Amino acid sequence: MYSETNITSHCHLEDFWSNGHHSRHWIDDSTGNDLGEAYYIPSHKEYLQRIELRKQLQVKLQSLINTKLTNKKNLIDANFTSRTIGKLGSDKAINKSVLNGFSTQEHFEVAFQIKQLYEESDFIGRFLDDRNDPNVIAMYRFQIPITLISGKKAFAYISTKEVKIHGNRTYTIELLSNPYQKNSPCLNQQGQATAALRA
């Protein structure tokens, strides 16, 4: 894995999709070789900013805990838990948005709106869990185009996780510059592989 601090100007970032999962990889300009997945290390100032924004997220979304969100287009329910808030504001989720060209502030701007965004989003598909967790039945992916306060255009990429005991729950969110590339295999409701649904 390579960070922006240890990669030189002879490389560029490219989007990679696998089983509904998005990542960015460093590509060598001269050889075209994949140098591995990129990751982001926040500065101390940004680290402190994240602490304050997580406090705001907790307050903003507190009323959603132990409620059920329903996607209006597909009527897919997703439970919202205290763990959801932690996932939405996690470094892993934020760093993915930052690597996609957005700021920490912009990630939280969208996380604050998770209820409305999930309810109005387009269902992409039902995917296998890429970690092969025996307790996870499938991952559901949704996306919706948005305009940030800054005027920047983006896509909110929302994931929910269907587990054996607690059902489907809201999991995380990522800001994308470009929409999901609809070429990854996903599962239908019977668990059979199929092409991802078009948003």
Backbone φ and ψ for 94, nearest 5 degrees, come out as -65, -45
* Nearest to 103, CA basis, from 168, 170, 154, 171: 154
pLDDT at 93: 97
Token representation of residue 111: 């996380």
* Nearest to 85, CA basis, from 104, 59, 106: 59
Q: How large a percentage of the chain has pLDDT more than 70?
A: 86
| Total residue length of the chain | 199
Region 46-60 average pLDDT:
98
The predicted-structure confidence for 136-160, as pLDDT tens digits, reads as follows 999 999 999 999 999 999 999 999 9
Instruction: Name the 3-class secondary structure at 14.
Output: strand
Please report which confidence band the pLDDT of residue 184 belongs to, taking 50, 70 and 90 as the band edges.
low
* Nearest to 136, CA basis, from 6, 15, 2, 19: 19
